[in-house]
Structures are given as C-alpha cells and as structure tokens.
Amino acid sequence: MSNNKLAFSKINYIIMLAGVAVLMLGFFIMTQDTEPYGFGTLGLTLGPIVVVLGFVIEFVAILYKGKKEE
C-alpha cells in the first residue's frame, strides 16, 4: 500500500509554475499604470489579457496528460 503516486507529473508542475509566473507578471503590469485608478492601457487592456493568459496556462497544466510510458 505504499504506492505514492502524485496526482500530476513533473511536466504538469512545471507548466503550473509558468502559469503562476505569467499571472504575477500580469498583476505587476497592472500596477505599473500611471493613469488615475488604473484607467490607462496597461491597467485596462494589457494587464488583464496577460492575467487571463496565465489562467489559461493553469487550465492547460491541469488537463495536460503526458505521453504514456510503456
């Protein structure tokens, strides 16, 4: 009963870390907006697009199945 199989493989965790890095980058981009209340291009357009891309990467990391080893 000592079958210590993880839920995800190593590549899944690497993709998840990349997704977290993209999410952090998106939130950082939103903080760099100089317009009041974040109504500039960085706060309303570029930052949210990068954040959504980060969530898409996380979704892919959860659903990714590697090649089966025979």
Report pLDDT for 48: 95
**In a domain? residue 48:** yes
CA dihedral 4, 10, 15, 21 (to 10 degrees): 90
Q: Tell me if 58 is assigned to some domain.
A: yes
| Band of residue 70 on the pLDDT scale cut at 50, 70, 90 | low
In-domain check, residue 38: yes
pLDDT in tens, 2-61: 566 778 889 999 999 999 999 999 999 999 999 988 899 999 999 999 999 999 999 999
pLDDT of residue 12: 92
Number of domains in the chain: 1
Cβ contact 22:53 at 8 Å? yes
In the prediction, which pLDDT does 24 show? 97
Q: Residue 5: inside a domain, yes or no?
A: no
In a domain, 32, yes or no: yes
What residue numbers bound the domain in which 39 lies?
10-63
Which helix (H) or strand (E) segment holds residue 10: the answer is: helix 10-31
**Looking at the domain assignment, is residue 36 inside a domain?**
yes
Q: Is residue 68 part of a domain?
A: no
Let me know if residue 42 belongs to a domain: yes
HSE value, Cβ hemisphere, 13 Å, CA-based, for 66 = 12
Residues 6+ apart with CB under 8 A from 63: none
